Amino acid sequence: MEAQDVKSNLILILDYGSQYTHLITRRIRSLSVFSLCISGTAPLKSITDLNPRVIILSGGPHSVHATHAPSFPDGFIEYVESKGVFVLGICYGLQLIVQRLGGEVRVGEKQEYGRMEIEVVRDCGLFGYRGIGDREVVWMSHGDEAVRLPEGFEVVARSQQGAVAAVENRARRFYGLQYHPEVTHSPQGMETLQYFLFDVCGVTAGWKMEDVLDEEIKVIKGMVGPEDHVICALSGGVDSTVAATLVHKAIGERLHCVFVDNGLLRYKERERVMKTFERDLHLPVTCVDATEQFLSNLKGVVDPEVKRKIIGKEFISIFDAFAQDLEHKLGKRPGYLVQGTLYPDVIESCPPPGSGRSHSHTIKSHHNVGGLPKDMKLKLIEPLKLLFKDEVRELGRILEVPVAFLKRHPFPGPGLAVRVLGDVTEGNALEILRQVDEIFIQSIKDAGIYDSIWQAFAVFLPIKSVGVQGDQRTHSHVVALRAVTSQDGMTADWYKERERVMKTFERDLHLPVTCVDATEQFLSNLKGKRPGYLVQGTLYPDVIESCPPPGSGRSHSHTIKSHHNVGGLPKDMKLKLIEPLKLLFKDEVRELGRILEVPVAFLKRHPFPGPGLAVRVLGDVTEGNALEILRQVDEIFIQSIKDAGIYDSIWQAFAVFLPIKSVGVQGDQRTHSHVVALRAVTSQDGMTADWYNFEHKFLDDVARKICNSVRGVNRVVQDITSKPPSTIEWE
């Protein structure tokens, strides 16, 4: 296809701040159609000069009701209608069309985040290739919804909650999708986009990745003078390797590569990477050991954003020093720095320098984007900054980069600093993480599934939990394992093939029961007849784990934890104990209950610790709304287990509130919210236990329900350790 034909089929995306905006660009390019993205508030002339065939209005974090909410320029409606331009609004873009053309948008009664099912209600326009009643799963991320459409518009699809999912006015060539068809979590989204572009809009294909290669080489040659020298920061990953190869193709031996050991690398990463550079890429690479420089500046730092900025600053100071050394050798100071920055890095660190964008929420500052100092002396060359990971791998294939490099999992520029949640210099956190990560990754490779996973890694959590190892009580660190599948890193699913890697009282009991808030109030109600005994349901595991129990004479066991009704009792307690079950295990107690005709529903109830949620909130139970969050999460988890018909197959299931927060994206906004853990085990007596292996769909549904329903939570993890080495509870 000729250049003029490519431009006449231009798809223009107006960016209103969605973290997925440039993923739309990527998806359209994958259809061999040229696409560009500009600010959604750009002047009308910027749009008309490009003469687009189709305009797509992106999603965004704002509400159309907000003051200064971004919108297309005055005259936009008149322009697209006079030129016959097709317009598609996605998420916020749909709401913008509805509001600006006379409809009504309100805050939705229920927010919709994550996977939702929609149903086609009209088989025309957007869904001309579908039938009425057809259903598909899509990815929602919105709080507002269209409740009244402009004249001439009709609903063509609705969500399972009844909200408007797709609208159109074919006569005026306006279309809208409330969901995100561009993400891989909308499995049929690409089919919808393809049908819209080729069948509805009449666009033709003809653009290819080789065009990107040729264009970037021209740009680099035009930027770098014939006598100029360039530094390339190599990390050993896909991005920097492809960037280096591309620049080397453009300027040859005037490229000087440097690899920095910042003390935050994976197990034996330095040795492995340097060997590969020399053996496979034949690039002249200088290795700089800056471990002390980085770690000394990170000492005491726990905020991940601060870590990223410190690391970015230290990298640049090293590159400046490297440039000075080269100046002495070459007689000319290098003026440029090549980095393998990708578009997701730019988007998540947005607004990127010089982009003019102001509507996105910053998710995180990448060390090579938002983490760069303002007074940096080197000029940047970022040949991949408009590409996504899959595009970079394709470009690398064209450049004949070794397959082993192209298949490597992404590794963050700040290294393990962002995988140690806390001070990276405290204790032996880095060494523990390196060992855990090495075991995890090697196990994935041994299982033959490394290439099926987009990214896998371990995380060191700033918490400890009680465990049992070698018959001794341990209070040790907790690590998390993370593995996801993705196509471009903009959205991701947790990896679902992990088993290949890891292996009422009065009504029923007829007992007189008084519900009280405190013991003293209860005793005062007995009017002077103070009882002398207290009956407790202490079991033998409680006694053993609180060992040595009072009066047992035993002194050799290690105390695992003090149960509130054994080791936790005050020495001056006036009541004498009656513990009829203290030599029995849970299964024996249930058998005894069956003989006593205790209702089955009671006998099947999961154990609940005497101290209650106090031992399931890891930290101060009175801080913030930890207890309320935990109650809601626990209720969703347990009810989901019951709905799935597996409650009786599980010995104990519960949620844990962790004293950490993580960065997330909800409704196109950056969130820094709480993390909860789900724990479910199978056991016969509580002395040993195995983690329960839920079906993937179950975990997917539960995680989505929790993040959608419980405000303040954006990440859900599952505990997959057995007892031993851990205990069932997390305390």
Distance CA(235)–CA(276), nearest Å, equals: 12
302-315 pLDDT, tens digit each: 988 899 999 988 98
Average pLDDT over residues 629-633: 95
Task: Note whether residue 725 is domain-resident.
Answer: no
Mean pLDDT of the chain: 82
Provide the annotated binding site.
235-241
Considering 91, 232, 547, 707, which one is annotated as catalytic?
Answer: 91
Percent of the chain with pLDDT over 70: 83
Does the pLDDT at position 78 exceed 80? Answer: yes
Same domain, 214 and 195: no
Same domain, 316 and 380: yes
Assess whether 91 carries a catalytic annotation. Answer: yes
Same domain, 579 and 599: yes
Task: Note whether residue 192 is domain-resident.
Answer: yes
Residue 295 to residues 290, 300, 311, 415, 424: CA-CA distances in angstroms?
A: 9, 10, 9, 12, 8
CATH of the domain at 144: 3.40.50.880
393-404 pLDDT, tens digit each: 899 999 988 887
Same domain, 435 and 310: no
* Token pair recorded at residue 203: 């666009």
Q: Which residue has the tokens 């465990």?
A: 467
Which DSSP category does 499 fall into?
G
Reported for 75-80, long-range contacts at CB under 8 A and 24+ positions apart, including other chains, are: 75/44, 76/44, 76/47, 77/101, 79/44, 79/47, 79/48, 80/55, 80/173
Average pLDDT over residues 420-448: 92
- Boundary-marking domain end, from 603, 627, 652: 603
Does the pLDDT at position 374 exceed 80? Answer: no
Distance CA(535)–CA(513), nearest Å, equals: 14
Considering 22, 62, 142, 180, which one is annotated as catalytic?
Answer: 180
* Token pair recorded at residue 37: 């993205």
Per-residue b/e over 244-272, b at no fewer than 16 CB within 10 Å? Answer: bbbbbebbeebbbbbbbbbbbbbbebbee
Q: How far is CA 644 from the centre of its chain?
A: 26
Does the pLDDT at position 652 exceed 90? Answer: yes
For the chain, the distance separating the N- and C-terminal CA atoms, rounded to the nearest angstrom, is: 65
CATH of the domain at 685: 3.30.300.10
Average pLDDT over residues 89-113: 84
Distance CA(133)–CA(471), nearest Å, equals: 60
Does the pLDDT at position 640 exceed 90? Answer: yes
Average pLDDT over residues 6-21: 82
Assess whether 180 carries a catalytic annotation. Answer: yes
pLDDT score at 547: 56
- 226 burial level (CB within 10 Å; 0-12, 13-18, 19+): exposed
The residue range of the domain holding 452 is 427-500
442-471 pLDDT, tens digit each: 999 988 899 999 899 999 998 888 877 666
Considering 112, 136, 168, 182, which one is annotated as catalytic?
Answer: 182
- pTM of the predicted model as reported, rounded to 2 decimal places: 0.64
pLDDT score at 52: 95
Minimum mean pLDDT among 208-222, 227-241, 506-520, 667-681: which range? 506-520
Same domain, 230 and 372: yes
Distance CA(714)–CA(704), nearest Å, equals: 9
Provide the annotated binding site for ATP.
235-241
Does the pLDDT at position 298 exceed 90? Answer: yes
**In this structure, what are the phi and psi dihedrals at residue 200, rounded to the nearest 5 degrees?**
-80, -45
* Number of compact structural domains in the chain: 5
Q: Could you tell me the pLDDT band of residue 492, with boundaries at 50, 70 and 90?
A: confident
Distance CA(662)–CA(684), nearest Å, equals: 36
Sign of torsion over alpha carbons 651, 654, 659, 663: positive
Same domain, 159 and 242: no
